[in-house]
Chain A
Amino acid sequence: MSLATTVLMAGRRIACLLLALVCLEAGSLADAQSPTLQPRAGEEPITPIPAAPVQDPRRVALGEQLFGDRRLSHDNTRSCLSCHDTGTNGASANAHDMTLEGRPLALNTPTVFNSALNFRLNWEGNVRSLEREAEETLRKPETMATSVDEVVSKLRADREAVRLFRDAYGSEPNGAALLDAIATYERSLVTPGGRFDRWLAGDAGAITPEELSGYQLFKSLGCISCHQGVNVGGNLFQRHGIFHPVGSAEPTLVRVPSLRNVATTPPYFHDGSAPTLSEAVKKMGVAQLDRELSDQQIAAIVAFLNTLTGTYRGQAVGAATTPPGAATVLP
C-alpha cells in the first residue's frame, strides 16, 4: 500500500469520525451505547408535561359539561365525547369515526389529551387555537353540522345552562363564552406524571433499562428528529412516506402527531392503518428511515413509548376498549 493510499484512508477515517461527531450532536448516538444514562434535566430533547394551567374551575366545569352535551350537534345525537372519550384515551378505538350521515371520516381522530400542547391542531395542522377548532368542529357537516349560533340558542332555552354560564361568565350563553368554555376544558386535559416524565425529573428508577435502551434507540435512529419537545411531537409538519409510502397518500404533509399516551391510542397513523404500536413503529422505520427494524429494536422502542403514558385526574390514561357513541371501526 502506497503512502498516498494510506494517507487517503486515514483521511477518510477521520472524515467518518468527524461525521460521527456531527451525528453525536444530532442524534446522541453515544447515548445509545450507554445503558446507564442518567436523566439530565433540561438537556433531553423531550421535556416533561407541565401541570395543567390554573383556570377558573367554573369555566372548566362548564366546558366539561358542554363537552358531553349532545346539543352541540345539529340533530342532538352526538357530543365531543362521542369521538374524544376522556374517560379512556381522549379519542376512540376507531380507525375512522363516522359522519352524521354514517360515512367514515377521512382521517383518524387524534386524542384530545395534551392537544393544547400542540402547535397546530388536526392532522393537517390547519387550526391554530382550541377555540377555532371547536368552532370548526361545530360547523363541519361531517362532525356536528351545526353552528355556534344554533348551539347558543339551544343553550339559552335551558335555564340550568343559562345559570351555569352566568356563574362562569356573568352573562347568558353566547358564542365567545361557549367556545372559551370548551377550550378552557380542553386546556385542562393534560396528562402529566408519566413514568418517562418522572425519569426526566430525576427519578432514575422510573423506567427500566430496556425502556431506557428503547429511548436511546429512539434517539439514535433519528425518530427524535420529529418526535421531540414537550409533546414528543406535535410541533412541526412533516411529509410522510419519505422513503416508502405509509398509509393513504393524502394529506401529503401532516402535523407530526404527539406520542404522549401513544400506547393507548390505537389504531395509528392519519388513516388508522396500523392497528398496533409495534406495527406502527415497524412501518415508520421503513417509511421515514428506510430501515427495516428488527423485532428487538421494535420491542425496545415500544417499551420506551409505553413510558409516555401519563395520568388524568389521578388515573393512568387507558386505551379505548369499545367504540363509543355512533362511531365504528373500519376494516
Chain B
Amino acid sequence: MRLLPGALGILLLLALLTWLLLRGIDTNAPAYAVTLKAFDDFALAEASLHRDVMQARAGVLGNYDTLGKAVEAMEDAVTRLRSHAQTEGLESGSVDRLATTVALQEELTERFKSSNALLQNSLSYVGLLSTSPTFGAQAKQLAPAIGALAAAILHLTRDSSSDAVKALQDRTDRFAAQAPTVGRHAEAAQALLAHARLLHDLLPAVDETLKTLVAVPSRQPLEVIRAQFSDRQSVVEATAQRFRLLLYLVSLLLLIMLASLGLQLRARAYARQRRAAFEHVIAKNSTRLINCPPAETEARLKQVLGEFCRAICGERAYVVLAENPTRVVACSTDGTVFRLAGSGAGAVRAARRSRTRHRHRAGCRRLAAWRSQGRVRGGRRTRLGLRAADPAGPSARHHGVRRLSTRVGQGFSTARGAACR
C-alpha cells in the first residue's frame, strides 16, 4: 500500500509523457500527403485533358479514351478532396465550386468530342474530295473554286475569326454557283458543299468550345482549397510543435527533479556514513568509559572528549560534572588548555558563553575545510548542547544528550547522539 501512490504517480507520469509524445508527433503528415496527391492528380489530369483536346483539335490524337480518363481522374480527385475536407472539418464550398468547374469541363469536353469528331470527319472528307479525281472531266473547270474553297477551309482551321468565316462563306457560295447539280458528279459536289458548310459552322464553334474549356476557372477554387488545407496543416503542425515543446519542458523538469533527488540521496548517504562513524566512536568510547577505573575518569574523559571533537570536527569539548562543586572537564583538539571559571551554575553559563564565542569561529574554519575537501557547499551550522544528568544518580555518572544538527548545502542531516559517561 505504501507503494501505491508512487506507482500511481509513475503511471500518471507515463500517461502524460505518452500523451504529449503522441500529440507531438501527430503532424497529420500522411493524410496531408494523400491530400497533396489528390491535388497533384487533379492538376495532372487537367493538364492532360488540356493537352489532349489541343491534340485532338489538331487531329493528332488517336482516340478520345484519354479524354474520358482525364475527366474521370479529375472527378476522382475532387471526390477525394471532398472526403479529406470533411475529415478535416473544412468548409466544403470551395470543393463544390471545384466540382462545378469539373462538371463544366466535362460538359465542354463532351461537346468538344462530338463537334471535333464531325470536324475531323469533314476535314478528312474535304481533303479526299479536293485531291482526288472525283470530278472527272469537270475537275479542270472546278479546280479554281475547289482550291479556293480548300484554302478558305485551311485558313479557317488556323484562324476562326469572323473574317475567315466570311471568306469561307464567300468561297462556298462561289463553288455552289459553279458546282454541278445534276449528273454523276453532282453528288460529290453537293457533299463537298455540305461538308464545307458544316465546317463553316463547326470550326468556330469547336474553337470557341476549346477556348472556353481551357479557360474554365478551376485554378481559383483549387488554390482556395489548397490554402485551406495548407492553413489547416499549419495549425496542426503548430499544435504538434507546442506539444513537443511541452514534452521537452516536462522532460527538463523531470531531469531537474532527478538531479535533485540524486543530490539528496548523496547527502543522506553521506550523513549515514558520518552517523555510522560517530556511532562507532560512541560505542568505542562508551566501552572505554565503562571499563575505566574511577581514578582515570578525568583523563579518560578528556580522551573521549578529544575523540568526539575529532569525530565531529570540533575544536573544543567540555563536560560539566554534577559534583559539588560543579566541575568542568574540557579539552581541545589542538591541545590548548582552557579552563572554565566558576562552579556550579556559573561554570555552566561560562561553558555556554565559551561555546557561543567559539562556535562561529570554529564553524567557519570547519566549513572552509569541508569546502576545500568538496564535501559541502553553502553554509553549515554546528550546535552543541550539554545538559547535566540527574546529579543524585547512584553512580554519580553524567548523562548527556547531545544534539547535532548539521545543515550542509540544501541537505539537512540530524544525528542524535548517544549517552556518555
Contacts and interface: CB of A to CB of B under 8 A. Distances in A.
Interface in B194-209: 194-195, 198
A19 interface: yes
Contacts of B269: none
Interface residues of A, number: 45
Given A225-B117, A236-B117, A18 B154 contact: yes
A221 B146 CA distance: 19
A169 interface: no
B125 interface: yes
A123 to B, nearest CB: 15
B147 A229 contact: no
A43 B121 CA distance: 19
A290 interface: yes
A26 B59 contact: yes
Contacts of B116: 225
B125 A19 contact: no
Contact of A27 (B127, B130, B190, B198): B127
Given A19-B153, A44-B62, A46-B63, A27 B120 contact: yes
B117 A16 contact: no
A303 to B, nearest CB: 20
A132 interface: no
B interface, over-half SS: helix
A253 B115 CA distance: 12
Interface in B301-340: none
A177 B191 CA distance: 53
Nearest to B116: A225
A13 B63 contact: no
A22 B154 contact: yes
B144 A243 contact: no
Nearest to A291: B191
A20 interface: yes
Contacts of A45: 62-63
Interface residues on B, range: 35 or more
A50 B245 CA distance: 56
A242 B118 CA distance: 9
A222 B130 contact: no
A321 interface: no
Interface in B248-276: none
Which of B116, B127, B151 is packed against the most chain A CB atoms within 10 Å? B127
A228 B64 contact: yes
A15 B145 CA distance: 12
B246 interface: no
B113 interface: yes
29 contacts: A11-B147, A12-B147, A15-B150, A16-B150, A19-B131, A19-B150, A19-B154, A22-B127, A23-B59, A23-B124, A24-B127, A25-B60, A27-B59, A27-B121, A45-B63, A220-B128, A222-B121, A222-B122, A222-B124, A222-B125, A225-B118, A228-B62, A228-B63, A235-B68, A242-B198, A288-B121, A290-B191, A290-B195, A291-B125
Given A9-B143, A225-B118, A238-B117, 15 more contacts: A12-B147, A17-B131, A22-B127, A26-B124, A27-B59, A44-B62, A47-B62, A47-B65, A119-B65, A221-B124, A222-B124, A225-B117, A230-B63, A238-B118, A243-B194
